[in-house]
Structure formats: C-alpha cells, structure tokens
Amino acid sequence: MRTQVAIVGAGPAGLLLSHLLWLDGIDSVVLETRSRDYVERRVRAGVCEHPTVELLREVGLAGRLEEEGLPHHGINLRFDGEDHRIALTDLTGREIVVYGQQEIVKDLIAARLAAGAEIHFEVSDVELHDVTGDSPRVTFKDSTGATQELRADVIAGCDGFHGVSRPSIPDGILRTYDHVYPFAWLGVLVKAPPSHEELIYTNHERGFALHSMRTPELTRLYLQVDPNDVLADWSDARIWDELHARLAVNGDFELHEGPIVERLLSPMRSFVVEPMRHGRLFLAGDSAHIVPPTGAKGMNLAVADVLALSRALKALLTDGRTDPVESYSDTCLRRVWRAEHFSYFMTTMLHRDYSADPFQHRLQLSQLRYTATSVAAATSLAENYVGLPFS
C-alpha cells in the first residue's frame, strides 16, 4: 500500500486531518485499532470553541452541528452559595457550541467514506518504521489478520496518549512535562433534561462539581473524587447525594435526576512533549499533550494541531517548501502551553486540594471573587474559554 500521509488514529484529530488534506488534493490512509461502532459511540468532550466551529463550517462539516448543537453565550461559576455568570459573548463577541466529540467523529467518518477515503478499522500490531527517512512506513494486521505494509511520505500520529506513535520516537529525543493532580473526575451521563441552560462550574467544600449537557435530553455531570476511588465505590444514591449537595445554591435551582446511562472515572493530569515532530513523524492531539478537562481544551487543541499540520504538509508535499514543517512544533506548542496554563488555572481555582492548608482555600475564594466581579478578569477567562483565534 502507498499513500502520501499515513494517519494513525481515527479520532477527531486523524479524521479531520484526512479531510483537510483531501480538500488540498493530498491522499491519506487512516488506521484505527477500534471498530467504527466504538469510535462513533465513545463519549468524550462536548464544548467546541468558536474557532473550531468556524473551521468546521468552512470545510463543510457543520451541517448537523448547526441543527443539533447547543450555542452557549455564558458559563456560571457557583461558589459561596451563589451563581456568578461569565457572559462569554458580551465580553468577547463570540460563543461556544456544545456538540459531542462523538458526533463530530460520526460527521467526519461519513464525509470521508463518501469521498472514497481509506479508513481501516480494527487493525492490530501497528508499528512505525524509518520515520527519519524519506519513505517511512507502517506495518499492521488488518481486520482479517493479514499483515499489511503502508508506505508514505509522512506519518501523522493522532492515536492518543496511549497510542504507538509517541513511543515510536527513541528515548532522549522528547522532553516531557507531566503534572498529576491529587484528584480525579467521576463523570455520569444522565437521561434527563439539563437543569440549567448553561454550564455550571462549582467550588464547594465537599469538592468540585460540573453541570453540563450533551443534548436537550441528556445531561453530563461530574464530581471531583479521590484518584484512588473505583466505580464500585460510587452507587447511584451516593452520586446523587453528592451532586445535590455540591450544586445547591441560594435561589431557584432544581437538579433533574434520571437513569445513569454511562459512568467513568478519569485521572486529572497535564502532559506535554516537545518537540511534536521527529523526522517524518508528526504528533497531534493527545499523543503530544493532555490537559485537565476543566478548561474544555482537549479536542479543540487537537483541531488546532491538525489545521497547522495540514498547512505544513500542503507546503511540503505540493509546493516543496519545508519551512512550515520545520516550524510546526513551535507553532502548535505556543497554543498548547496557553491552553495548559488556562486549564491549570481553572482546575486549581475550582477544585479542593485536601492536602493543602486552609491558606490555599482562601486564595481560591479570593481568585473566584475577583474573577466574578472584575470585568478585566472575567474577560480574560471568557477570551480563553471561547478560544483564541487559530494562527
């Protein structure tokens, strides 16, 4: 098999890269270890930044998003028993749209298959070879178990934090920055209408809680929990007790309960590798960086990465120019580190670190009160939350 760009991973990063390259007349093949059904059902992020939505519109992928996405013009910081609204659109002139990552994946798969793209699901034993040469290659077993070899001009590693792309780079090449937080998130998907029209980020003495949504019929709720907890520790009754306690507010608010149709435990970490390129292997999305979900940046960073990568590969493969490829890592990392800082800011402002002294908690409350009452501070939060323009 031969292609111009071998893409490892059929998440939003790999699929969007394939689509962007196709628009530029560049051939690609996508390899994915999971089944199509799995990647289309895998529930992940739901907040699309303004630049992400604009890009999806520009490349013809926003049809269902326009019909089913939920535009949001603000978020709420809930603390001291009160809601403090950050008016995103009033402060920045832009908005976010809640539209599940799995829905974007569905749209991308449909668009790529309609265009005749090659997406190989359920592959195994994926290995990358000769990534510093002019003709890197990927070996794998296809869904029938037959061994295949895919030769390419470049390889895009879009296979996530646990994928094979990053570990294929020899030791000593990458600089790693890793920060693990002393808490985790318990997330539940509930078959019930959202209890509020906007997202609610809560700082409570019992721990952080988040009220979000996926559709007008599905609510997404999160609780800060101990990183050593397991799902068996959390019965439905305990989950609802904590949600009611942490989301309580002075005034009119009723938390809608319903059947819990999905639950997961996620550790909280920040992670970055530099550079995001080794020879003809380019890392994008979670294979290169992880952010805590508090800032809603993970999928949006992946979109920014592959937009920069598609431009760089067009210059290389169509025009023979190498300068955008050489600067790809630096271009992406400037945005990555801004998002890392914002996500760290949101996480440390809203979560309770029970190993810290009371002084730290008073600083948290001071930051929350300042953010809620200062136009300058609220604007900074809003600007980062809706997404800085793509460079």
Active-site residue numbers? 72, 201, 293, 297, 385
Q: What is the 3-state secondary structure (H, E, C) of the chain?
A: CECCEEEECCCHHHHHHHHHHHHCCCCEEEECCCCHHHHHHCCCCCEECHHHHHHHHHCCCCHHHHHHCEEECCEEEEECCEEEEECHHHHHCCCEEECCHHHHHHHHHHHHHHCCCEEECCCEEEEEECCCCCCCEEEEECCCCCEEEEECCEEEECCCCCCCCHHHCCCCCCEEEEEEEEEEEEEEEEECCCCCCCEEEECCCCCCEEEEEEECCEEEEEEEECCCCCHHHCCHHHHHHHHHHHCCCCCCCCCCCCCEEEEEEEEEEEEEEECCEECCEEECHHHCEECCHHHCCHHHHHHHHHHHHHHHHHHHHHHCCCHHHHHHHHHHHHHHHHHHHHHHHHHHHHCCCCCCCHHHHHHHHHHHHHHHHCHHHHHHHHHHHHCCCCC
